[in-house]
Amino acid sequence: MVGIILASHGEFANGIFQSGAMIFGEQANVKPCTLMPSEGPEDIRKKMEDAIASFENQEEVLFLVDLWGGTPFNQASALLDGHEDKWAIVTGLNLPMLIETYASRFSMEKAHEIAAHVMQTAQEGVQINPKELEPKEEKKAELILGQVVSLLFITSLALMALCYIFKRPVLFLFGASEETYVYADQYLKIYLLGTIFSVFSTGLNGFINAQGYPKKGMMTVMLGAIINLILDPVFIYGLHMGVYGAAIATVISQGVSFMWVLSFFMGKKPFYHIKKENLILKAGMVGKITSLGISGFVMQGTNCLVQVVCNKMLFMYGGDMYVGIMTVINSVREILSVPGSTLGSGAQPVLGYNYGAKQYERVRKAIRFTAAIGFLYMLIAWLAVIIFPKEILSVFTTDKAMIGLGEHALKLYFFGFFFMSFQFVGQSTFTALGCAKRAVFFSIFRKVIIVVPLTIILPMLGLGVEGVFIAEPVSNAIGGLASFTTMYFTLYKKLPE
């Protein structure tokens, strides 16, 4: 466990040490070191050296110091010399920083890792009430909003242009053939006109939720979905527009969602508004925004990679029919996975809150409860697929040939579906307890390291299209158990009694 030294001018270190114990309980390997008016630099240095000598692990030491440039900081810096690869100093000591440091020691074993992590918490600990007295933060938030608007605009135009230029190779990459290309082309060239609507409504919806209007954010999604459901049969069958009609209905529904989002930011309800002066891109801000979104991009990118590989292998070994079957199976999977992923997402604030409140037994119970309910639901979903494959496929298609071939494929793909519950629980726990990097890793591990290679290799070993469908349950078992087992031994078992 990382050793912690609290260093300050006067009794501040002793006082915050006592406050931390009141909130988080008594902590081992934590020592306050004070510089009193009658003492000099060598005195506090001696206190720090004695404190380090008392730690169980003297390899990992974190100094939490009151003031940058003061005597406690200077003496800590002198001790740091030669230990920069293991030790770290963070200044601006406050109570939120200390509490977060205590909590982080249960999931992080490096002083450098904890130091980097607690910086944000320390900054967020400085608040003011009433909120109207925070003009600088408001300006910063509106700057971020403006930067995101510009980035979304540039991204949507670039995405639309690239897809128009490389339309044919893109469609074939995602599974189109010479027979289906004509329909895909008809749909895509209309659909791309709504790119800016789709990107803006999706990208800015998070800003609506963040300002305390989740119902408004939900309506962004609901409006588009409902209008699309209404307009699809009107344009496709009523006006006999076929594929063109489906694309036009989608663009219109996206446009309505876009107008809904835009009307919100132009109204009086939001705290932050889109202002012209904030639309000019700033390199530093763009870098921060991009770095925060890269993990989500990677996870979505791996989903696309899996889809591309599956479609290519299915077309190679089974033709258009099996590409269509995979499209239906993916729809089934998306629907059946929603309760499981929602359970995991819903558990995160419960886990995080109780972890921060050092209610560790509640954290354990929440993990066990989530795992049990998730496993039970996934098991029932799997049994439903095994017992009623024809009925499930019939919801998505009336093609008898597709249903006939799809029954066996659906059973293969969903075999052992309950293993996904372990993936959801593991990743949700990692995220809730501050180990988001592990959550991203296990997502990539299952999709890129397991699914993609198996999807390519198994058909080549003589399994044909069945190999593509078998790759999914194998990855669910290996990836799910790996995620859950790692979570169990690195987090669950290490929680204090």
> Which residues is 32 bridged to in the sheet?
6
Token pair, residue 288, equals 């921060």
What is the separation, in whole angstroms, between the first and last Cα of the chain?
16
Q: What is the pLDDT of residue 275?
A: 84
Task: Give residue 7's pLDDT.
Answer: 96
Burial of 74 (0-12, 13-18, 19+ CB in 10 A): middle
Q: Give the C-alpha distances (Å, rounded to integers) separating 472 from 298, 310, 420.
A: 19, 10, 10
Q: Which long-range contacts (CB under 8 A, 24 or more apart) does 272-275 make?
A: 272/138, 272/141, 272/142, 272/145, 272/207, 272/211, 273/142, 273/145, 274/142, 274/145, 274/146, 274/149, 275/142, 275/146
Phi first, then psi, for residue 354 (nearest 5°) are -70, -30
Could you state, in chain order, the average pLDDT of each consecutive group of 10 residues for the chain (497 residues)? 94 94 90 93 94 93 92 92 91 92 88 87 74 59 86 92 89 77 87 91 81 79 88 89 90 92 83 82 81 66 82 86 87 85 78 76 89 92 92 86 90 89 87 77 86 91 91 91 92 82
CB 470 within 8 A of CB 411: no
The predicted pLDDT at position 206 comes to 78
Alpha carbon dihedral 346, 352, 355, 361, in 10-degree steps, equals: 0
What does the pLDDT read at residue 131? 61
pLDDT at residue 207 in the model = 80
* pLDDT given for residue 204 in this prediction: 87
| CA R_g for the chain | 27
pLDDT at 75: 93
Closest CA to 377 of 348, 429, 330, 341: 341
Cα–Cα distance for residue pair 294/303, rounded to 1 Å: 14
- Bridge partners, residue 31, by sequence: 5
